Structure 1
Amino acid sequence: MSRPTLFFDLDGTLIDSAVGITRCVAHALAQLNHPVPPEPELRRWIGPPLRTSFAPLLVDPELVERAVAHYRDRFESFGWAEHEVYAGINEALAALHAAGYRLAVVTAKNEPHARKILAHLPFGNYFEDVIGATPDGTLSHKPELIAEALRRLSVSPTDCWMIGDRHMDIEGARHHTMRNIGVLWGFGGEPELRKAGADRLASEPAQLLALLTA
Structure 2
Amino acid sequence: MTRIANARRHALLDLDGTLIDPKAGIIGSVRYALDKLGAPVPEIHELTWCIGPPLRQSFAKLLASEASVEQAIALYRENYRNGAMYEAAVYDGVSRMLDDLHAAGLRLLIVTSKPKVFAEPIARHFGFMRHVEAVHGPGLDGTHDDKTELLAAVLEREKIAGRQAVMIGDRKFDCLAANANGLPLLGALWGYGTAEELTEAGAAELCAAPAEVAPRVRRLLV
TM-score by structure 1 length? 0.97
Q: 1:117 aligns to what? A: 122
Matches within 5 A, 1:128-207: 128-207=133-212
Structure 1: distance between partners of 2:146 and 2:60: 15
Q: Which moved more, 1:20-29 or 1:189-198?
A: 189-198
Shift of 1:125: 2.3
Report Cα offsets for 1:102-128 as digits up to 9, x if no partner.
100000001100011011112222111
Percentage identity across paired residues of the two chains? 41
Structure 2: distance between partners of 1:126 and 1:163: 16
SS of alignment partner, residue 197 of structure 2: helix
Structure 1 residue runs without a partner (length 5+): none
Q: Which moved more, 1:134-143 or 1:119-128?
A: 119-128
8 Å contact kept, 1:6–1:162? yes
Q: 2:92 aligns to what? A: 87
1:106 aligns with 2:111: yes
SS of alignment partner, residue 6 of structure 1: strand
TM-score by structure 2 length? 0.93
| 1:63 counterpart letter in structure 2 | S
8 Å contact kept, 1:131–1:148? no
Structure 2: distance between partners of 1:8 and 1:140: 17
2:45 to 33, 40, 43: 40
Shift of 1:177: 1.6
Structure 2 residue runs without a partner (length 5+): none
- What do you get for the CA RMSD once the two structures are aligned? 1.0
SS of alignment partner, residue 188 of structure 1: coil
SS of alignment partner, residue 160 of structure 2: coil
Q: 2:6 aligns to what? A: 2
Please list every run of at least 4 consecutive aligned residues from structure 1 whose deviation after the TM superposition is greater than 4 angstroms: none
Structure 2: distance between partners of 1:95 and 1:176: 25
| 1:2 counterpart letter in structure 2 | N
| 1:10 counterpart letter in structure 2 | L
Q: 1:64 aligns to what? A: 69
8 Å contact kept, 1:16–1:186? yes
Structure 2: distance between partners of 1:41 and 1:48: 15
